[in-house]
Amino acid sequence: MTQTTTETKINPRPLDGIRIVDFTWVRAGPWATRWLGALGAQVIKIEWPLREFGRAGGAAAAPPGITPTLNTGGNFNDTNANKMSLSLNVRSPRGMDIIRRLISVSDAVVENYSASVLENWGLGYEELKKLREDIVYVSMSGFGHSGRHKHYTTFGPSAQALSGMTFASGLPDKPPAGWGWSYLDDSGGMYIAFYTLAALFHRQTTGRGQHVDMGQMIMGATLNGSALLDVTINGRSSTREGYPPGNRAHWPGTPLVSGYRGRTVAPHNSYRTLGGGYNDWCTIACFSDEEWRNLVCLMGSPDWATDAKLATLQGRLQNQEEMDRCIEEWTLTLEKYDLMHKCQAAGVRAMPVQSNEDRAEHDPQLRERGLLREVDHPELGTRRMQNAPFVLSESPARNHRHAPLIGQDNEEIITGILGMSREELVSGYSDGTFWPDSMDLYPYQKELLQ
């Protein structure tokens, strides 16, 4: 169930009383303000129906059985929970006047456009300071607002390529693979939220606002782990000589010591489990001889496992192919969750490989931690959405509101927060300030105007 008003009064959230004007789009920016909203900030998303990428096109695919509208996209609704929506044409003089009035009574502005966009609108940091001297302006463009490439445009996957992460993910003798998901968008969003909190705290302690200037590619360059040390300290350029040291710590034909990662271990792999289906796998990793002995005992101490050649790490690495085949003969007799429980009880690190369905339907830990929380949506019905992946004991961070219908909160923002008259609200619909003339109004907007 969603968090109630009573819950909020009993346990006030960390950012209650903070108002954020949200100019974000696509994924990274909206992902940041989603969590700021979960922490209690009043996030007002500024959007225009003709240019809202997240609500339209392929990114807005509706769930099966739901008629697609600007309000039904699954990804949009997950990414924009805990926000309000003001549909506003900021490129019109009247719309710009309204947005300047809103910024003057807000604490922060968050945006992830290219470096020159808000500047060209007349909403750069120097202009924002004239509206509110202590405003916090948080921006994340592809390359930041300074440097020779500041005007280059990018998306998460292309920033990922330049950052070095795409190269590191490839297989030997194959093209750079990239990641299955736009990793720099989600991680970038968390960085935006982190730096917004830091700037708000700085303002609280000093009374001064500031411009937080982030570059998505530059942020990604710091996520390559110790690979940068390999070239700066060891003088070794990045190569893909062997398979990535992920599920398996060591691959045949590669050095036993893997550069900056330190000495490899074995067993360290993913093994098929009972059923042998596409997702019937479990990972097992033994980081010491003691953990290996625990695994041997759990397997019933078969002759092959008690052979002296496997008693040491060096021996297990040298005989890894044979060892892994024998381990998998055993894992194929157990269901992957049963295997995890038995291994954990025996002091062996093991976890099943989980699909989306596994995480949503079969993971009791995620369920008990409340990662998926039901939210009631006017058009999608009751749906489970991602909740905050952390727990605050005194000030809960929770999904307390579904993603807004476009323009849903126009009346509350215009007549409530800004104190404008209802006549001004109605006339804004007539002159195209709040809704384009070329689009029909949604029923809730027609009801508002009646």
Q: Active-site positions?
A: 185
For residue 121, pLDDT over 80 is answered with yes
Confidence bin at 256 (pLDDT 50/70/90): low
Across the range 332-342, mean pLDDT stands at 97
Is the CB of residue 64 less than 8 Å from the CB of residue 380? Answer: no
Give the pLDDT score at 75: 87
List the strands of the sheet with 210-215, edge to edge.
83-87, 42-47, 19-23, 108-111, 136-141, 210-215
Give the pLDDT score at 260: 42
Pick the closest to residue 54 from 36, 90, 27 (CA basis).
27
Give the pLDDT score at 166: 86
- SS3 state at 40: coil
Distance between CA atoms of 330 and 225, rounded to whole angstroms?
A: 35
Model confidence, pTM = 0.89
For residue 194, pLDDT over 90 is answered with yes
Which of 154-163, 329-338, 374-383 shows the lowest mean pLDDT across its residues?
Answer: 154-163
Give the pLDDT score at 241: 66
Pick the closest to residue 7 from 401, 435, 441 (CA basis).
401
Confidence bin at 181 (pLDDT 50/70/90): confident
Question: Model confidence over 268-282: pLDDT tens digits?
Answer: 999 999 998 999 999
Give the pLDDT score at 319: 93
Which of 58-62, 121-125, 143-147, 163-167 shows the lowest mean pLDDT across its residues?
Answer: 58-62
Question: Model confidence over 284-295: pLDDT tens digits?
Answer: 999 999 999 999
Give the pLDDT score at 5: 46
Across the range 303-321, mean pLDDT stands at 94
For residue 243, pLDDT over 70 is answered with no
Contacts with 103 (C-beta within 8 Å, 6 or more apart), sequence order: 21, 109, 123, 128, 131, 132, 135
Which of 9-23, 59-73, 300-314 shows the lowest mean pLDDT across its residues?
Answer: 59-73
Instruction: Return the DSSP state at 350.
Output: E
Question: Model confidence over 409-426: pLDDT tens digits?
Answer: 999 999 999 999 999 999
The mean predicted confidence, pLDDT, of the chain is 90
Across the range 142-159, mean pLDDT stands at 89
For residue 365, pLDDT over 70 is answered with yes
Contacts with 411 (C-beta within 8 Å, 6 or more apart), sequence order: 422, 425, 448
Confidence bin at 259 (pLDDT 50/70/90): very low
Alpha-carbon torsion angle 373, 70, 33, 122, nearest 10:
-170
